[in-house]
Amino acid sequence: MKEKELVLESLVNGNGILNGHNHDEIGDDHMYTGVETPMKEGAFNISDLEKKERIADLFAQIMDVMGLDLADDSLQGTPMRVAKMYIDEIFSGLDPLNKPKVALFENKYQYNQMLVEKDITFYSNCEHHFVPIIGKAHVAYISSGKVIGLSKLNRIVQYFAKRPQVQERLTNQIALELQSILETEDVAVIIDAKHLCVSSRGIKDDTSATVTSFYGGKFNSPEKIQELYNYINN
């Protein structure tokens, strides 16, 4: 089986839908190698300090090639600022040591309806051009006997967002992580985001947005999907 077909087989749900879209509508430009973020072997064999030093050196070379004067007071600290930003902030989700620690609690309230955490603001970066993706995530689940602290839902979204991403993968990573933690298939994730690779370059369309979705378990029904959207749009 071809690689692309293997990817589709691993991601398509029972309705033949990938992230809420027909496969043909996504197009080849949005296909990727799998649910996991592509990482090379030995990605964590060097320390964060060494990574910052190497990134700073390489970014200084980029600035030099562009003709910028690195002796200028305003620019001389930029390479290290960028390096620290990459490792400590906007790409910190690449490091599994930064994965949120999650504690579950017994569902003592016997609440058996969907719980929705909506409008979780996140900032990510497109892995194709390394420019921002800015959006909101809506996360829902139905308890199988355990509940998770509300802030942990936000932290899980932020963890997977803080890495070079494509929106389809981000959607699936959040959903699959929650299914694993909560030990239930009954998880839904909807992401509505603006991609600066579309609005600030290329076609320069500042009005369009991208929506992706994941519906697992009981959420794979028109009634539950409509109920979820009613909560989100309330």
Q: In this structure, which amino acid lies at residue 91?
A: F
- 117, 140 in Cβ contact below 8 A? yes
With residues binned 3-state (H G I as helix, E B as strand, rest as coil), the percentages for the chain, rounded to 5, are 45, 20, 35
Q: Give the Cα separation of 139 and 154 in Å (integer).
A: 9
Within 10 A of 69 (CB to CB), how many other CB atoms are there? Answer: 11
Q: Give the Cα separation of 30 and 20 in Å (integer).
A: 14
Catalytic residues: 126-129, 167, 195, 197
| CA contacts within 13 A on the Cβ side of 97 | 6
CB burial class (10 A; 0-12, 13-18, 19+) of residue 100? middle
